[in-house]
Amino acid sequence: MSATHFQLDAQGRLQHFLTIEGLTCRHLTEILDIAESLHGVAERRVKKLPTLHGKTVVNLFFEASTRTRTTFELAAKRLSADVLTLNIATSSAVKGESLLDTLRNIEAMQCDMFVVRHSQSGAAEFIARHVKPHIAVLNAGDGRHAHPTQAMLDVFTIRRHKPDFPSLRVAIVGDILHSRVARSLIHALSILGTGDIRVIAPRTLLPAQVENLGVRVFHHLPEGLRDVDVVVMLRLQRERMEGALLPSEQEFFQQYGLTEERLALAHPDAIVMHPGPINRGVEIDSRVADGPRSVILEQVTNGIAVRMAIMSITLGHHARPVGEEV
């Protein structure tokens, strides 16, 4: 059984969240709608809901992260779950304990959800296939494969500004080859019916046969940016690169960096996004990153509501704010 079907229960509901690929518009819209209902929780006097009271969420981050880890922690705490973040660098895994042994020991602590980030593609699915049936597994990024919650917070951010997906022109720019964010976002945009999805990158930073994902390919940034409604800049992932895929970061910025002059080619009310962390002066000029069209910090804020929604769905609850009580 593929990961696509494995993450659904017998009724077709999400029991794990491992990949966007193969999900339906109904699945994605449910996440977006619930996230919208939760978006205002952060503005309340008491920033908590009782939805996951008594549940335990374990963050298993085998790869460094700041935004993703902290927003997952905040999401779980705002749903009143108990949260344990395992520091892999000082865990028994470093001493030679196998991944399955680590899982079995954490399972013995009566946990309900694992949030997994790993450098190896397929790690989250592997864990989901070996945990006890009542445990939900969320993929917080696995190798080059997928980053489904990032894709959902991205489309949530887009929907809040530009809700008509069929009419949208979206450009994804930069290191497509190494980006699990790009892969998951393309799947999400396609499922939601986005009319025009473009990828803009040098040939060395594009996967083979990327056109099969339903995107239009551009190698020249000004041409690809023309009249787009959304510009998604990607981080240049040097830590994942093998060999000399780029002459220099300076040359990359000269050819593919987003400046105010290049952004002027997009639609006048186009928004600018970036999953972070930003390499200023490499992928994007600071005047654009901090400018009026940037929604980069909104993406971080929106990530909390989206991850709250996914946690509540996969653990069989639909969180809805009702009053101020916890």
Question: Is 189 a residue whose pLDDT tops 90?
Answer: yes
Dump pLDDT digits (tens) for 195-220: 999 999 999 899 999 999 999 999 99
| Domain range list for the chain | 3-146+301-314, 148-295
Measure the CA dihedral 163/166/171/175, to 10°.
100
CATH class, domain 3-146+301-314, is alpha beta
More reliable by pLDDT, 128 or 319: 128
What's residue 2's pLDDT? 57
Q: Which superfamily is assigned to 148-295 in CATH? A: Aspartate/ornithine carbamoyltransferase (3.40.50.1370)
Using alpha carbons, select from 316, 308, 313, 307 the residue that is nearest to residue 49: 308
Mean pLDDT taken over the chain: 90
Domain 3-146+301-314 matches domain 148-295 at the CATH topology level: yes
- Tokens linked to 266: 């997009």
Question: Is 150 a residue whose pLDDT tops 90?
Answer: yes
What's residue 322's pLDDT? 46
Contact 201, 175 (CB under 8 A): yes
pTM: 0.92
**Other residues' Cβ atoms within 10 Å of the Cβ of residue 209:** 7
What's residue 325's pLDDT? 42
Dump pLDDT digits (tens) for 28-77: 999 999 999 999 998 888 889 999 999 999 999 888 788 899 999 999 99
- Tokens linked to 320: 């809805």
CA atoms within 13 A on the CB side of 209: 1
